Structure formats: structure tokens, C-alpha cells
Structure 1
Amino acid sequence: MLEDLDVAAIDYAARFSSAGRAERAELRERFVAFCLPFAGRMARRYRGRGEAVEDLEQVARLGLVKAIDRYDPQRGSFTAYAVITISGEIKRHFRDRTWGVHVPRRVQDLSLEVGHATALLTGESSRRPTAAELAAHLRVPETAVLEALESSAGYNPASLNAPAGAEGTAELGDLMGDVDAELEAVDDKVTVAGLLLRLPARERRMLAMRFYGNLTQAEIAAELNISQMHVSRLLSRALGWLREAMLSDRLPRWEGTDSPSDGHSLRITVAEDGGVRTVRISGEIDRDTAGRVRTSLRQAVAGAERLVVDLSAVPLVDAAGVAALVDAASACAVAEAGLSLRGAQPYVAQILGLSGLQCLLADDPPGGSR
């Protein structure tokens, strides 16, 4: 039959090249009808894969027509060309129309090959082959076989609306998913993150080492060069403050420093010595106290040759506090007075440095203006 198909194709091509338009249509129709049984046999090779045989025959016939229209006798056997064209059309149909989930083409093709190899090796060994045996048979990496096996589940995925159970009163989707318990903790986590920034740098570091680094109290003590008893006391105090702050509308007083640091209390003292005016600030400079700091610094600039801001008792400066210090720098520039920020704690110094005030930081204010 295959030889007859090749002979008929050569004869068809010879007549088609010398025929007129009307005769060409008739020749083409007769040759397509002659080849239809061949297309049907090609389609039946792929039956049993979830597609109706009638649909596969339609796809095979489409591939046959493409093969006839593109056939060139100078390039070889028509039968071989038709087999390749029809097979490609059927595989394209499986790839584009039958997969329930989009899977890359290479994985789809390999999934089909894995299916054929599985059936073959199961018949030979009377057991299901392993991924390594499939990889060796197909001469591909084992990881590629595993990917193909996993992606095969996307060919015909189960519907979430499918009935579940014998009675069919529930759907499959009803059995999946649950309330996310972590969702309720989002607000608490955000609140704790803000409160941690109000703790001194040492306490923040200790909490990070304990609860994020999973270090023991002994390891933290060795890292900070203090006793384990001291570590235990500091952690208890920090956790107690966080717990109280979480349950209160107003920040509690932090007992870890000599100065009040409840977020709203602030002490500002001014001293003058030989044209150098020193403003000592005790407490946090945040949105609740920044206005008072701004006013005090502007008043201190008036008539001063040099202004020194002592931040040694300031455990925290937020964006509003930075703005107040920037305003003081601008006021000093207008009054042609020098400005130094002295004694900033490491965390505060880091914030000021990132805010562009690094040039004003000094451990001991030098003479003259900056």
C-alpha cells in the first residue's frame, strides 16, 4: 500500500504540474480521497489517549491535505513526508488542545515519550519502571524525567467542583484550604517592628540574636562580653516593655536609661561658655517632641557664635527629629554660627549619617566654626 501511495503521489504531481486550474482541483480532490485511509490509520495510532478517534481523524486529514499541498517529488518519498506532517499535526493538537494546564512544549513531548517508555518497560519487566530506568531508556537526565512525570498531572487536572465523598454533598474544593492563622498576627508583627526601633541599640541587638539568630543566653553573653545573668535581666526587661507597649495606647516609660524615654517626655538644658552655647537634650526626638526641639534650637542659635547639641542622652531620633536638626543647621548657616552634634549614640549617629548630617557629628567639638 505504501508503494502504491508513492507511485500515486508521483503520478499526481506529474499531472498536476501540467493541468489547468479546474483540472488541478479535480486531481487534488481525487488524490486526497485516495489517501484518506492512510490518514485514518495514522490517527488510530493515537487512540486511547483521552481524545475521540473522530477528532483525531479530522486532525490527521488536515495534516494530509497540508502534506499534499506542500509535496515536492524532487525531495523524496511522499509517504515519509506525509507521516511526518500528519504526526506533527496530531502532536500539535494534543499539545494545544488537550492539556488542562499550560506546560512547555519540550515537557509535553517528553511526557508522551515517558508514557510510551513506561508501557514498554512495564511489559518487559512486569513492574513499573523507576525514573532512573526511564532516563536510561530515553537517554535524558533523570531530572527531566521527573519533571515530565510531575507535569503529566496537568494534562487532565481534577475539577474543584467535582463531588467528594460517597453522598456527593460536598465538592473537592471544599476540602482544600483553611483559615491562615498567621494572617491574624500581621498587625502584631507590624506593631512590634515599630516598637523595636524605640529600644536602645543593645537591647535590639540582643533580641535579634536571641529570636532571629537562635543564640543562647550564654552565647549572647560571650558575644557582648557581659554575664549571662545580665543578659537574662536585659532580655526580661525588654520583653516586658514590649508586652506593656503592645497592650497600651501610650508608650510606657523605659527604665533602661537615666533620662525619661516614654516617647513624650523630654528635657532640654542650655549652657554657655565663652561664646559656645551647648544644648543638652535628654529623651527621644520623635514626632511628638520634634516641635519643641526645633523651637529650643532656634532660640539657642540667636546670638551664639557656636552651637553644640549634646545628643549623648538621646536613644532615638526619627524622621521628624532629623528634620528638626536639619532646621537647626539651616538656622546656624543664616546666623553664620558654627554647629556640632556631639555624643550621638551609634544608632542615632547612623541615622544622622544617612540623613546627610555626618559632617556635623563630633565626639568633642573642635574650636572654631564648621
Structure 2
Amino acid sequence: MAPTDARELSRHFFRRLQSLEEGTREYQYARNTLIEMNLSLVQFAARRFRNRVQGGGLDMDDIIQVGTIGLIKAIDRYDLEREVEFSTLAIPFIIGEIKRYFRDSTWSVHVPRRLQELRVELAKAQEALTDVLGRAPTVKEIAGHLELSEEEVIDGLVAANGYTSGSLDMGSADDEAQSSPNRSSRPLAERVGGVDPAMELFEDFHTLAPLLDQLDERDRHILQMRFGQEKTQAEIGVALGISQMQVSRLLSRTLVRLRAGMLSV
């Protein structure tokens, strides 16, 4: 269907769709007709990704199917009253779905095209040599089979690790191999990184903030001078016109109140 004809008929079916009750047979017919009439938008958007499809070993039919999901979402959200061409809304939805598909099903990190292609060659070579040797081939044997240097083979093997990413909640292969039926493997998240010593301090500040807001202005001012400006109790007393003993009592009372408030959270 020509784009001009599709636009005119689409307006008619969108008006029809708005007057029908969702879930009825008539509504579903109008919706399916809109999908069929606007598949050219999906094909147009998918062509922009042709090189990525070919380079990633993907199927264009899968890209069309994914793009159609975006088209359906656009149809369900389109509003004629906004006086915006449907294609203006639909194309971003379609492209968004396709990009999401590439993000979820292709390389987890950016890897040069040369190394992406080498990954496929390495996989084939490893399979062929394993059949011949009866064991996993060495880097030197793979390099000889592919007529490459050992450095190139190593680069390809390292780059292949970027094709998929693992969850931090998963245990490692070593854990699974060594674990007994009664022993669960520790997830990677428990074995990498470390505890940030500032995290506990952050949590304390987060808890303390609303408690400070409950203090009167004089108590907050005393805390500011004592801990913010690092003044002595005598200096605070002079600034406020009270004795050092009074400052000590006020400060102790305030700290007890704050400590009790933090412990009760």
C-alpha cells in the first residue's frame, strides 16, 4: 500500500478504533488492520539496522517482528486529537524496540568488528580441532589451524568474553564444580568489591537529619559551634552568654536525645 493511501486509511481506522469498545471483535479487526497497513514503517526502520543484523549474525525477520511490537505500542497510544502524523509517533517506538533487542541479544560490551568476526572463526576451529584431537585445542594449535599469530588468537578469545554478561547473583563455574549437594555456591556479588566504609556514615547522616530538624534553634546552634566549628565549650558559653557548665548540660541533653532517636529507628 502506498504511504499516502496508508495515511488516509489509517486516520479512518483510528477514528473507528476510538469509537469501539476495547476487546470486542470489531475493535480487534480495526487494530489488526492498522498493524497490517503500517508494516511498511517497520520495514523502513529495520533497514536502518541492516548492517548490524548482517554483522551480528541475526535474522532480519526477527528484527521485523520486534519492530512490529513497537508499532503495536504506538497504535495503542496514538491520539488523533493531537493532530500529529502517526508515523511521527510510530518510528521512535519501532526504533526503540529494535535497539532494545540489540542491547539484550548482542554483544554486552563494544568490541571491534574484526574481533567479532574472529570469535565465530575461533568457535568453528575449536569445535573442529576438538573432534580431531579428542581434547580441547591449545592456543598454538588454534593459531596454526587458522594461520594466525598466537597473540591474535588470544585477543579473539578475550574479546569473546564480551559477547554475554553474567549476573552478579550467579555462582561461578568453579563454585558449582566444587560444591556438594548440601553446599550452595556463593554469588559473585559476595566475592567482588568490598564494603564502602563511608556507607555506614551516610546512613547515619540520613537518619540524623530529621532528628536535627526537631531540635530548637539554640540546640542546633550549639551543635554547629561544637562539631562544625570545633569550638570549646568555654568559647560557646562566651558566644551565647552562658556558663560552660550550662553549655555542657545542654550539649549532653541534646546528644542523649539524638542517640535515643537514632537507636529507635
**Normalised-by-shorter TM-score class:** 0.3 to 0.5
More strand by share: 1
Q: Which has the higher helix share?
A: 2
Whichever of the two has the greater Rg, that structure is 1
TM-score, structure 2 normalization: 0.40
Q: Which has the higher contact order (CA 8 A, sep 6+)?
A: 2
